[in-house]
Structure 1
Amino acid sequence: MMDGGSTVGRGSWGKDATAPMSSGASWFEESQLGRFTSTDMSLLRSSTSRRRIIPEDPLYCGANLTFRSISHVNPHSPSAHFTTFTLFATASMPNVHSKLLPVERTVKGIIKHLTVLYLKNRTRISRAVYIALFVALINRIRNAVDQQKAAAKREAERRQRNSIKLVDDPAEGDAAGKKKKKVELNREFFRSLLGLLKIVIPGWKSKEMRLLISHSIFLVVRTLMSVKIAAMDGAIVKSLVKGNGKEFLMRIFWWMVIAVPATFTNSMLSWHQAQLSLNYRTRLTQHIHDKYLSNLTFYGISALDDRIKNPDQLIAVDVARFSNSLAELYSNLAKPMLDMTIYTYELSSAVGGEGVMFMSLLVQLSANVMRALTPPFGKYVADEARLEGEFRFAHSRLIDYSEEVALYGGHEAEKNTLDKGYFTLIKHVNYILRRRFYHGFMEDFVIKYFWGALGLCLCAVPVFVKLPGHILSGAMNMGDRTEEFVTNRRMLLSASDAFGRIMFSYREVMELAGHTSRVASLLEVMNDIQKGVFQKKLVSSGDTDDNAAVLKGRGKIVESEDIRFVDVPIISPNGDVLVRALSFHLRRGDHLLVVGPNGCGKSSLFRILGGLWPVYGGAVHKPSFHSIFYLPQRPYLSKGTLRQQITYPDSLRVMKSKGITDIDLMTILRQLDLAHLVELYDEGLDAEAEWRDTLSGGLQQRVAMARLMYHRPRYAILDECTSSVTLETEKAMYDGAKALGVTLMTVSHRRSLWKYHTHILQFDGQGKYVFTKLDAERRLQLEDEKEELDVKLRQVGEIERRIGELSAA
Structure 2
Amino acid sequence: MTAIADRKSAEFIQQAIFYIGVFAASTVVAVFARFTEERLALLWREFLTRRAVKLYLADATYFHLGYSGTLTHPDQRIADDVRAFTITTLSFILMVFNSALTILAFSGVLWSISPLLFVVAMFYAACGSYVTIALGRPLIKLNYDQLDKEAGFRSGLIHVRERAEAVMVARCEEQQNARLLQRLDEAIANFRQVTAINRNVGFFTTGYNWLIQIIPALIVAPAFIRGDAEFGVITQSAAAFALLVGAFSLIVTQFQSISTFAAVVSRLSSLLQAIEQSHAPGSPLAIQVDEDENCLGLEHLFLLSSTDGKPLIRDLSVSIGLGTRVLITGPNQAGSVALFKAMAGIPTTGSGRIIRPGAGGILFLPQQPYLMPGTLRQTLVPPDKSADISDDRILHLLHEFNLDVGQTGGLDKESDWDAVLSLREQQLLALIGIILARPRFVFLDRLDTTLGADEFRKILHTLSEHSITYLNSGAARGPEGLYDAILTCSQNGEWTWTTNPPEHEPIL
Structure 1 residue 574: Cα displacement: 4.9
Structure 1 residue 306: Cα displacement: 0.6
Q: How does 1:392-403 map to 2 (within 5 A)?
A: 392-403=154-165
Between the aligned partners of 1:389 and 1:577, the Cα distance in structure 2 is: 37
Q: Size of the alignment, in residue pairs?
A: 502
Between the aligned partners of 2:501 and 2:174, the Cα distance in structure 1 is: 50
Deviations 1:110-129 (A, max 9, x none): xxxxxxxxxxxxxxxxxxxx
Q: Helix, strand or coil: the match of 1:428?
A: helix
Question: Residues 678 and 284 from structure 1, CA distance in 2 versus in 1: closer, same or farther, beyond 3 angstroms?
Answer: closer
Q: Helix, strand or coil: the match of 1:521?
A: helix
Structure 1 residue 616: Cα displacement: 6.0
Question: Residues 728 and 574 from structure 1, CA distance in 2 versus in 1: closer, same or farther, beyond 3 angstroms?
Answer: same
Give yes or no for the alignment of 1:704 onto 2:465: no
Structure 1 residue 699: Cα displacement: 1.9
- Which of 249, 261, 268 is the equivalent residue of 2:25? 261
Between the aligned partners of 1:432 and 1:754, the Cα distance in structure 2 is: 70
Question: Residues 483 and 298 from structure 1, CA distance in 2 versus in 1: closer, same or farther, beyond 3 angstroms?
Answer: same
The aligned counterpart of 1:735 is 461
Between the aligned partners of 2:85 and 2:220, the Cα distance in structure 1 is: 40
Question: Residues 615 and 423 from structure 1, CA distance in 2 versus in 1: closer, same or farther, beyond 3 angstroms?
Answer: closer
Between the aligned partners of 2:174 and 2:418, the Cα distance in structure 1 is: 27
Question: Residues 716 and 376 from structure 1, CA distance in 2 versus in 1: closer, same or farther, beyond 3 angstroms?
Answer: same
Between the aligned partners of 2:110 and 2:337, the Cα distance in structure 1 is: 75
The aligned counterpart of 2:12 is 248
Between the aligned partners of 1:436 and 1:599, the Cα distance in structure 2 is: 57
The aligned counterpart of 1:155 is none
The aligned counterpart of 1:288 is 52
- Which of 564, 567, 584 is the equivalent residue of 2:300? 567
The aligned counterpart of 1:417 is 179
Q: Comparing 436-445 with 689-698, which one deviates more in the overlay?
A: 689-698
Q: How does 1:405-484 map to 2 (within 5 A)?
A: 405-449=167-211, 451-460=212-221, 463=224, 474=227, 481-484=230-233
Deviations 1:133-172 (A, max 9, x none): xxxxxxxxxxxxxxxxxxxxxxxxxxxxxxxxxxxxxxxx
The aligned counterpart of 1:769 is 494
Q: Amino acid of the residue matched to residue 255 of structure 1?
A: Y
Give yes or no for the alignment of 1:640 onto 2:374: yes
Stretches of structure 1 that go unaligned for 5 or more consecutive residues are 1-236, 465-472, 536-550, 779-809
Under a length normalisation based on structure 1, what TM-score does the superposition of the two structures give?
0.58
Between the aligned partners of 2:450 and 2:120, the Cα distance in structure 1 is: 83
Structure 1 residue 461: Cα displacement: 7.2
Give yes or no for the alignment of 1:667 onto 2:416: no
Deviations 1:325-369 (A, max 9, x none): 2122223333224323432232113312x5422442344234323
Determine what percentage of the aligned residue pairs are the same residue: 20
- Which of 309, 323, 326 is the equivalent residue of 2:86? 323
Structure 1 residue 753: Cα displacement: 6.6
Structure 1 residue 774: Cα displacement: 4.4
Question: Residues 689 and 361 from structure 1, CA distance in 2 versus in 1: closer, same or farther, beyond 3 angstroms?
Answer: closer
Question: Residues 558 and 634 from structure 1, CA distance in 2 versus in 1: closer, same or farther, beyond 3 angstroms?
Answer: closer
Runs of 4+ in structure 1 off by over 6 angstroms are none
Between the aligned partners of 1:505 and 1:627, the Cα distance in structure 2 is: 55
Q: Helix, strand or coil: the match of 1:685?
A: coil
Deviations 1:254-297 (A, max 9, x none): 21111111111211222122223212211111001111121122
Q: Helix, strand or coil: the match of 1:294?
A: helix
Q: Amino acid of the residue matched to residue 759 of structure 1?
A: A
User: 1:336, 1:502 within 8 Å by CA — same for their partners in 2?
Assistant: no
Q: How does 1:285-434 map to 2 (within 5 A)?
A: 285-302=49-66, 304-352=67-115, 354-434=116-196
Q: Comparing 282-291 with 562-571, which one deviates more in the overlay?
A: 562-571
Q: Helix, strand or coil: the match of 2:301?
A: strand
User: 2:213, 2:238 within 8 Å by CA — same for their partners in 1?
Assistant: no
Between the aligned partners of 1:459 and 1:241, the Cα distance in structure 2 is: 17
The aligned counterpart of 2:235 is 486
Stretches of structure 2 that go unaligned for 5 or more consecutive residues are 504-508
Deviations 1:198-238 (A, max 9, x none): xxxxxxxxxxxxxxxxxxxxxxxxxxxxxxxxxxxxxxx11
Q: Helix, strand or coil: the match of 2:478?
A: helix
Between the aligned partners of 1:459 and 1:569, the Cα distance in structure 2 is: 85
Question: Residues 529 and 494 from structure 1, CA distance in 2 versus in 1: closer, same or farther, beyond 3 angstroms?
Answer: same
Between the aligned partners of 1:456 and 1:753, the Cα distance in structure 2 is: 100
User: 2:291, 2:356 within 8 Å by CA — same for their partners in 1?
Assistant: yes
Between the aligned partners of 2:14 and 2:75, the Cα distance in structure 1 is: 60
User: 1:387, 1:425 within 8 Å by CA — same for their partners in 2?
Assistant: yes
User: 1:555, 1:615 within 8 Å by CA — same for their partners in 2?
Assistant: no
Structure 1 residue 243: Cα displacement: 0.7
User: 2:332, 2:490 within 8 Å by CA — same for their partners in 1?
Assistant: no
Structure 1 residue 581: Cα displacement: 4.0
Q: Helix, strand or coil: the match of 1:296?
A: helix
Q: Amino acid of the residue matched to residue 494 of structure 1?
A: L
Question: Residues 369 and 734 from structure 1, CA distance in 2 versus in 1: closer, same or farther, beyond 3 angstroms?
Answer: same
Higher relative contact order (CA closer than 8 Å, sequence separation 6+): 2
Between the aligned partners of 1:586 and 1:461, the Cα distance in structure 2 is: 98
User: 1:592, 1:744 within 8 Å by CA — same for their partners in 2?
Assistant: yes
User: 1:672, 1:732 within 8 Å by CA — same for their partners in 2?
Assistant: no
Alpha-carbon RMSD:
2.8
Q: Helix, strand or coil: the match of 2:4?
A: helix
- Which of 268, 271, 279 is the equivalent residue of 2:35? 271
Q: How does 1:182-221 map to 2 (within 5 A)?
A: none
User: 1:556, 1:615 within 8 Å by CA — same for their partners in 2?
Assistant: no
Between the aligned partners of 1:510 and 1:534, the Cα distance in structure 2 is: 35
Give yes or no for the alignment of 1:717 onto 2:443: yes
Between the aligned partners of 2:375 and 2:120, the Cα distance in structure 1 is: 73
Structure 1 residue 486: Cα displacement: 2.2
Between the aligned partners of 1:597 and 1:523, the Cα distance in structure 2 is: 44
Q: Amino acid of the residue matched to residue 588 of structure 1?
A: L
Question: Residues 750 and 412 from structure 1, CA distance in 2 versus in 1: closer, same or farther, beyond 3 angstroms?
Answer: farther
User: 1:564, 1:586 within 8 Å by CA — same for their partners in 2?
Assistant: yes
Task: Determine which structure has more spread, i.e. the larger CA radius of gyration.
Answer: 1
Between the aligned partners of 2:379 and 2:397, the Cα distance in structure 1 is: 13
Deviations 1:44-81 (A, max 9, x none): xxxxxxxxxxxxxxxxxxxxxxxxxxxxxxxxxxxxxx
Q: Helix, strand or coil: the match of 1:626?
A: coil
The aligned counterpart of 2:252 is 503
- Which of 344, 356, 368 is the equivalent residue of 1:622? 356
Structure 1 residue 421: Cα displacement: 0.9
User: 1:642, 1:687 within 8 Å by CA — same for their partners in 2?
Assistant: yes
Question: Residues 637 and 318 from structure 1, CA distance in 2 versus in 1: closer, same or farther, beyond 3 angstroms?
Answer: same
User: 1:604, 1:613 within 8 Å by CA — same for their partners in 2?
Assistant: no
Between the aligned partners of 2:134 and 2:416, the Cα distance in structure 1 is: 56
Q: Amino acid of the residue matched to residue 650 of structure 1?
A: P
Q: Amino acid of the residue matched to residue 707 of structure 1?
A: G
- Which of 524, 528, 532 is the equivalent residue of 2:277? 528
Q: Helix, strand or coil: the match of 1:686?
A: coil
User: 2:122, 2:245 within 8 Å by CA — same for their partners in 1?
Assistant: no
User: 1:734, 1:756 within 8 Å by CA — same for their partners in 2?
Assistant: yes
Q: Amino acid of the residue matched to residue 663 of structure 1?
A: D
The aligned counterpart of 2:506 is none
Give yes or no for the alignment of 1:513 onto 2:274: no
Q: Amino acid of the residue matched to residue 670 of structure 1?
A: H
The aligned counterpart of 1:691 is 417
Between the aligned partners of 1:358 and 1:439, the Cα distance in structure 2 is: 22
Q: Comparing 387-396 with 580-589, which one deviates more in the overlay?
A: 580-589
Question: Residues 448 and 568 from structure 1, CA distance in 2 versus in 1: closer, same or farther, beyond 3 angstroms?
Answer: farther
Q: Helix, strand or coil: the match of 1:585?
A: strand
Q: Helix, strand or coil: the match of 2:471?
A: strand
